[in-house]
Every structure is written in structure tokens, then in C-alpha cells.
Amino acid sequence: MTQRQAFTAFAVCVLSASSAAAQTTIGGLSGSHTDIPRWCGKPYQSGSPNYDPGGMLMPPAPSPTPMLYVQIEPRYSIYDSSETSGEFLVDASLSYIHGEPYRNATPSDDGGMLDFDIRIEDTDKLLVSDSVVVNSTDNQFSFDFGELQPRLTPYSIVLYGAPPSSYANQSYMATTELWYLPAKNNGSTVKVDNLNGGLSVANNATNYTFTPILPFGFYTSCSGYLNYSLANVTAYKDLGFNAINPVCAFADGNLDYLFDWMDATNLWYQYDMRGTFSNGLNVTQLTEQIPLVKDRSNLLSWYTADEPDGWQYALNQTRIAYDILKQQDPYHPTALVLNCDNYYFEEYSSGADYIMEDAYPIGINPTYSQPWNTTCNETYGDCGCDDCIGELQDVSNRLDDLFDYQLWLGQPEKPLWAVLQAFSGEGYWSRDPTPEETWAMMVLSFNHGAKGIMSWTYPTSESLGEAHGAMAKIATVSPVSTFLIGVPEATRITVPGHELLDVAYWVLNKQILVGVVNLDYVSQNSTIEILLPVSVTGMASQPWGSVGWVVTNGTLTAHELTGLATSFVVLDL
Ligand SMILES: *[C@@H]1O[C@H](CO)[C@@H](O)[C@H](O)[C@H]1NC(C)=O
Ligand SMILES: *[C@@H]1O[C@H](CO)[C@@H](O)[C@H](O)[C@H]1NC(C)=O
Ligand SMILES: *[C@@H]1O[C@H](CO)[C@@H](O)[C@H](O)[C@H]1NC(C)=O
Ligand SMILES: *[C@@H]1O[C@H](CO)[C@@H](O)[C@H](O)[C@H]1NC(C)=O
Ligand SMILES: *[C@@H]1O[C@H](CO)[C@@H](O)[C@H](O)[C@H]1NC(C)=O
Ligand SMILES: *[C@@H]1O[C@H](CO)[C@@H](O)[C@H](O)[C@H]1NC(C)=O
Ligand SMILES: *[C@@H]1O[C@H](CO)[C@@H](O)[C@H](O)[C@H]1NC(C)=O
Ligand SMILES: *[C@@H]1O[C@H](CO)[C@@H](O)[C@H](O)[C@H]1NC(C)=O
Ligand SMILES: *[C@@H]1O[C@H](CO)[C@@H](O)[C@H](O)[C@H]1NC(C)=O
Ligand SMILES: *[C@@H]1O[C@H](CO)[C@@H](O)[C@H](O)[C@H]1NC(C)=O
Ligand SMILES: *[C@@H]1O[C@H](CO)[C@@H](O)[C@H](O)[C@H]1NC(C)=O
Ligand SMILES: *[C@@H]1O[C@H](CO)[C@@H](O)[C@H](O)[C@H]1NC(C)=O
């Protein structure tokens, strides 16, 4: 997670004290530079030659005319036999980088539509027959499972579409997979909401009814905290967290008691297999652990690789693990964290159902690497935060980048989570974030689409533990969570004259949630007027922050925003 010595704290976890210098040729990337110690593909040792690290994604060249890009996805990553109906999401966007030629040759009275059928590929069984407006996205279509047999392998789904007028002579095809599993009555079942990006969980504590959650917690030391007592687990949960990533696994020893405590307190865990990935993926070890964990009542997700891009694990490694996990346990999603700004994103992220980022910008020197005495730039050096500028915006820039890469690749957007800095040291980070910087990074993450927070690392300082808990208690419950994971994505707005304000909003039913961060460390004392796209009738509540907002018709006004002020405010429409 942190790049170098982070693992030394966890004796139980049998994770060797790693140093980047030890990680010279792991992963077997082909090329002539594998002998040079690198991080994110960049040489970082003083005196190493400079060269192009490769693996960088660039925006695709746009075509001169828009193409029609038809995509289909199930609303949820999995369904089970406790459910009688499902949903598909159909996109028919006009894109300059993906899709098939689109000639809008239809007459105006029936133009601009696409008729389509959705079928099970093997049997040709029709599930949906309907139409969408061209250049619309996230169209929802429900269907009944009916006679469909629940099974442990996915159904291949195919969509055929065409404009209604036959003389348009154009057709479009898209495919996806539909998982319809036998419902379990033990352990947990966890699905990804492909529309809104949250997770939906079912276990004994929900009476096996799917319940949306916005996971919020910490990577947590096992030997330095979790293994002490059930009271420690309870104390952690009481701070306000609903999720955790214990940095230990069954491969490290018998940890039944520790996972039992998390099950007993209904604390959702990412099961961390970083040890199975270091020094090459040990597939035997991966396979051996799955039966020990898959039927536990609070397994949230499988966490495979920790910074596989930083360590330059083999490009196929995360996907190999992903496929094994899907085959042996299709009931849970798989996640991993990427550390690099732009290094083989497609390959590494192909092994994840949601993608975490861990840009740690506080207290770094973005241009000089103190541990290695080198400069840092786009192709060289390791300054602790890849391609960062050492400001809060590094977190939101990274989320925006990961969003864009998926857009460029033409993939459905996978949910993004933020791993926030709650530590310092190791030669890269001269200080901890303050609580105000922490809250700023949190609201910034949500404004830029994060659907979960899992910070590094617990125990942290008492003030940062409390700062994280305070936000967790607000962001994981209604009304805030209802917006954050009840709407596909936030819409950001700029505030003229206040370039250092980051503002986004979410509209749901008859209300709007507005998230505001003052990225300036000093007070904004000239009047701040946030022009909203909708007419608002009044303020319902301010679940987070204490800004003196005044609501007038379409405008949210404050006369002052203190340095690093953060606010979540709910307004009535
Ligand atoms: C990055 O730094 C290295 C080492 O100092 C140097 O050789 C290289 O030219 C620099 N690259 C850029 C793009 O400035
Ligand atoms: C398609 O929709 C996008 C996003 O709403 C919009 O920016 C674009 O102008 C639309 N394209 C056309 C050709 O209407
Ligand atoms: C329709 O499509 C077929 C097959 O691609 C092509 O041969 C034919 O010329 C097209 N007709 C028109 C009117 O575009
Ligand atoms: C949990 O349920 C599944 C399917 O119903 C079953 O195969 C499995 O053996 C059960 N596991 C335990 C630990 O009871
Ligand atoms: C689960 O069911 C039990 C018994 O019917 C009920 O007492 C409990 O409130 C339910 N819990 C939830 C979370 O719905
Ligand atoms: C938890 O573990 C720590 C050791 O890291 C210990 O000092 C503390 O008292 C324990 N108990 C609770 C309730 O946190
Ligand atoms: C759920 O099952 C776990 C064991 O897997 C148990 O520790 C916990 O108390 C149960 N929770 C509820 C709410 O029944
Ligand atoms: C992989 O894990 C298995 C089972 O723990 C172990 O026997 C084997 O030695 C490991 N292989 C490597 C290459 O470390
Ligand atoms: C994965 O990649 C490595 C290194 O490029 C290669 O040696 C290995 O054969 C690949 N494995 C599979 C299953 O493709
Ligand atoms: C750091 O590198 C510079 C030149 O690149 C050298 O002059 C200096 O002595 C080095 N400092 C340390 C502490 O190694
Ligand atoms: C805003 O605050 C700064 C620093 O406190 C002060 O110099 C400036 O006069 C204030 N501006 C207004 C409009 O109050
Ligand atoms: C609110 O704004 C709308 C549109 O800008 C305008 O039509 C309406 O008259 C305004 N209402 C009030 C009470 O100012």
C-alpha cells in the first residue's frame, strides 16, 4: 500500500519488509530494462538511465463524424434465485471514439430511435424487446427470470439493434454476461450496482435481503490491533465504520477467531490476498484460501493485488486471479488498488470489479525524491505519489484519470474507491494530513465519483481516526448515502471567481445534495454564489459542515467559507 516499509508493522501477516530495491524484476514484463529497479515502470535509483516506461494510455484520436456506440450491462453484477426479476442497462451514445457508423437517414417522425432485442445467446430466448433514443445512456429495462435456471456460470447475452426505418440499413450488436445464481442461505452475497456504483449486500444480518451500502473504513493492522480482542473490533466499528480491510489472510496462519469477531459484529471485510501476489502469483495459495472465506457472513469482496502496477506484477496476473475467483466464488466482487497514474491501466484493472486509487499527496516533494536523491518527472523517479503535484487535488485528479481511461477504452465504468492518506513517514511523506485536509479529500473524492473509502492505515493518530469516523457516520447513512449511491454520478459545477472551490451535486426525487470543498487553505471571504441548475425552495439540512448557507431560488449563497471548509447540504426542490 504505502510503497516501501508499510508491511513491517504486521508480524502476523508474514509480509516481508519490502523495499523497492528488492522488487527489481518481479512480474516478467518483457523488455530490456527489467534489470533496472523501477516503480510504475520508472527507474528511481540515482544514476539509472532514463527511458520511456511505456504502458501509458492516451486519448484515442476522434473520428470526424459521430458513431453509434451501443452497450449493454446487467443492472447488477449478479442476481440470485431469491429475486424474480432483473434489469438491463442499455446505452446508445453518439461517440467520436467508439462504435459503428451511424447514418441518421431516418425521416424525422421516427428518427433518432434504436429498436432492439435482448436475448440469451445459446437458446435465443427473448428477454427484452424495446427501443431507446439515440444518444441516451443508462436506459433501464426490466425482465422476469421466469423459467431461467439459476446456475453457477453466467448466461451470454446479446443485443441486436437497428433504427426503425428499414431503409436505414444499419444494425448494431452488443454483448454482456448475466449471472443468475442459486440463492445461498449462509455466508453473504454481494453485488455491484452497475448503475449507481454502490455495493448491495445480503447476509444473516439483513435476513438475506439485498441492502445497499457505501463501504467506509480502514486497512487495519492485524497484529498491531485486530488480534487483541473482540472489543477492538467493536471499538473500531463504534467509530462509525461499516467496512474494513484487515491486512492479513489465512495464508498467514489460523485467523478464524479474528474473522469470527468481524462476522459477530457485522463488519464487512475486503479479504486481502496481497501476500499471495508478492513474488509472483501463487495460484495454489489463492485457490486454497477461497473455501476458508467464501461462506463467511461478512465477506464483502476479494482484494487481490496491492499496487500491482507499482510493483509491475505480470500483466496477466490480476486477471488470472479474477477468473479463478469468479469460477470458485461468483457471489462476491473482486477489487484491487492501483498506485500509478498511467501504467498498464487496462491490463491491471481487468482483474477488478471496482478499482481503488491511492494517491497520497500530503507532505510530499513532488519533484525531488529524498529517499533516492533523484528528480521526479513523468518518466523518472519515485516521489511517493506518482505524477502528483503535492496538493489535495491529486486525489480528485487521479479519480478523474481512472474515469477517463475507462471512457477511452470504451468500457462500462467500474466503480472507483479512494484510499486516503492517514499516515506519514518512509522518507516520502513529511507529515500526516490534518483532519481538515482529510475531510477535504473525502468530499473531493465523493464529488469526483468515489463510491467507497478505505484509508491507509489503522491504527492512525487518534485525531485522524476520529476525523475518519466522523465523516463515516454521515456518509454511510441517509440522507447522504442515499444520494451518493442512489445516483449514477455527481455533476460538478464551477463557481466563477472561486477556482479553488470544488462543488458537485446529486439530484434524487425532490431533493438535491450539494457537496462543497474549499481547496484554499485560507478563508474565501467574498460572497460565494453557487448557481444551481434547478430551482430550490429551501434548505432541508446540512448533514456535514457548518457553513452559513442562504438559499434563494436557484442559488446557494455563503458570505464566507473558512480555509478547507467542507459541506454537504440537502436542499428541497
Ligand atoms: C526526467 O528526469 C530524468 C533524470 O533526471 C531525465 O534524464 C529526463 O530527461 C527527465 N525527463 C523529462 C521529461 O524531463
Ligand atoms: C450526445 O450527448 C452528449 C452528452 O449528453 C452531448 O454532449 C452531445 O452533444 C450529444 N451529441 C449529439 C450529436 O447530439
Ligand atoms: C445495405 O447493407 C448491405 C450490406 O452491408 C449493402 O450491401 C447495401 O449496399 C446496403 N444498402 C444501402 C442502401 O446502403
Ligand atoms: C453454504 O451454502 C452453500 C450453497 O447453499 C453450500 O454449498 C455450502 O456448503 C454452505 N457452506 C457452509 C459453510 O455451510
Ligand atoms: C429479520 O427477521 C427477523 C425475524 O423475522 C426480524 O425480527 C428482524 O427485524 C429482521 N431483520 C432485518 C434487518 O430485517
Ligand atoms: C485495542 O488494541 C490496542 C493495541 O493496538 C490496545 O492498546 C487497545 O486498548 C485495544 N482495545 C480497544 C478497545 O481498542
Ligand atoms: C451471523 O452469523 C455469524 C456467524 O457467521 C454470527 O457471528 C453472527 O452473530 C450472525 N449475526 C446475526 C445478526 O445473526
Ligand atoms: C505456493 O503455495 C503452496 C501452498 O501454500 C506452496 O506449497 C508452494 O510452495 C507455493 N509456491 C511458491 C512458488 O511459492
Ligand atoms: C502470464 O504472463 C507471464 C509473463 O508474461 C507468462 O510467463 C505466463 O505464461 C502468462 N500466463 C498465462 C496463463 O497466460
Ligand atoms: C544527490 O545527488 C547529487 C547529484 O545528483 C549529489 O551532488 C549529492 O551529493 C547527492 N546527495 C546525497 C545525499 O547523496
Ligand atoms: C479577506 O480576508 C483577507 C485576509 O484575512 C483580508 O486581507 C481581506 O481584506 C478580506 N477581504 C474582504 C473582502 O473582506
Ligand atoms: C426563480 O427562478 C426562476 C427561473 O430563474 C424564475 O422564473 C422565478 O420567478 C424565480 N422565483 C423567485 C421566487 O424568485
C-alpha cell at 231: 472489543
Query: Contact, 294 vs 187, CB < 8 A?
Result: yes
282 lines ligand 8 (CB under 6 A): yes
pLDDT value at residue 104: 65
pLDDT digits (tens, 9 = 90+) for 466-520: 999 999 999 999 999 999 999 998 999 999 999 999 999 999 999 999 999 999 9
pLDDT value at residue 473: 98
The CATH homologous superfamily for domain 491-572 is Golgi alpha-mannosidase II (2.60.40.1180)
- Ligand 8 centroid to 214 CA: how many Å? 36
**Residues contacting ligand 12 via CB (< 6 Å):** 535, 553-554
Instruction: Determine which residue's CA is closest to atom 13 belonging to ligand 4.
Output: 295
b/e 174-203 (16+ beta carbons within 10 angstroms → b): bebebbbbeebeebbbbbbbbbbbbbbbbb
pLDDT value at residue 28: 41
Task: Give Cβ neighbours of residue 97 (< 8 Å, ≥ 6 apart).
Answer: 59, 60, 61, 62, 63, 408, 410
Task: Give Cβ neighbours of residue 3 (< 8 Å, ≥ 6 apart).
Answer: 20, 39, 307, 310, 339, 382, 384, 426, 428
Stronger pLDDT, 416 or 110, i.e. the higher one:
416
For residues 80 and 227, give the distance between their C-alpha atoms in angstroms, rounded to a whole number: 35
Instruction: Determine which residue's CA is closest to atom 1 belonging to ligand 5.
Output: 207
pLDDT digits (tens, 9 = 90+) for 425-457: 999 999 999 999 999 999 999 999 999 999 999
Mean pLDDT of the 281-305 span: 97
Instruction: Determine which residue's CA is closest to atom 1 belonging to ligand 2.
Output: 135
For ligand 8, pick from 16, 284, 286 the residue to mutate: most ligand atoms within 8 Å of CB. Answer: 284
Q: Among residues 478, 504, 457, which one has the least CA distance to residue 219?
A: 457
Q: Same CATH topology for 67-181 and 491-572?
A: yes
Query: Contact, 118 vs 159, CB < 8 A?
Result: yes
Cα angle value 444/445/447 (rounded, 5°): 65
3-state SS, residue 317: helix
pLDDT interval class at 20 (50, 70, 90): very low
For residues 335 and 272, give the distance between their C-alpha atoms in angstroms, rounded to a whole number: 9
User: Ligand nearest 383 Cα, by number?
Assistant: 1
Q: Which CATH number fits domain 192-362+391-484: 3.40.50.150, 3.30.360.10, 3.20.20.80, 3.30.950.10?
A: 3.20.20.80
pLDDT at 164 over 90: no
- Ligand 5 centroid to 184 CA: how many Å? 17
pLDDT value at residue 167: 59
pLDDT interval class at 230 (50, 70, 90): very high
Percentage with pLDDT > 70 across the chain: 92
End-to-end CA distance of the chain: 43
3-state SS, residue 286: helix
For residues 479 and 514, give the distance between their C-alpha atoms in angstroms, rounded to a whole number: 12
Q: Where are the domains of the chain?
A: 67-181, 192-362+391-484, 491-572
pLDDT digits (tens, 9 = 90+) for 320-371: 999 999 999 999 999 999 999 999 999 999 999 999 999 999 999 999 999 9
pLDDT interval class at 236 (50, 70, 90): very high
Query: Contact, 45 vs 382, CB < 8 A?
Result: no
Instruction: Determine which residue's CA is closest to atom 4 belonging to ligand 4.
Output: 184
Task: Give Cβ neighbours of residue 329 (< 8 Å, ≥ 6 apart).
Answer: 290, 294, 302
For residues 132 and 419, give the distance between their C-alpha atoms in angstroms, rounded to a whole number: 37
Element holding 119 (H helix, E strand): strand 113-120
C-alpha cell at 347: 491490463
3-state SS, residue 516: strand
Mean pLDDT of the 220-231 span: 94
pLDDT value at residue 165: 73
8-12, 104-108, 267-271, 397-401: the lowest-pLDDT one: 8-12
Atom of ligand 5 nearest to the CA of 205: 13
User: Ligand nearest 209 Cα, by number?
Assistant: 5
Q: How many residues does the chain have?
A: 573
What is the DSSP secondary-structure string of 198-258? -EEEESGGGTT--EEE--EEEEE-IIIIITS-HHHHHHHHHTT-SEEEES--GGGS--HHH
- Ligand 10 centroid to 366 CA: how many Å? 17
Mean pLDDT of the 527-538 span: 92
Mean pLDDT of the 558-566 span: 96
Our measurement of the distance from residue 174's CA atom to the centroid of its chain's CA atoms, rounded to an integer in Å, reads: 25
pLDDT digits (tens, 9 = 90+) for 91-130: 999 999 999 998 764 445 456 899 999 999 999 999 999 9
Give the orientation angle of helix 435-447 with respect to helix 393-409, to 10 degrees.
20
pLDDT at 261 over 70: yes
Q: Does domain 67-181 have CATH number 2.60.40.1940?
A: yes
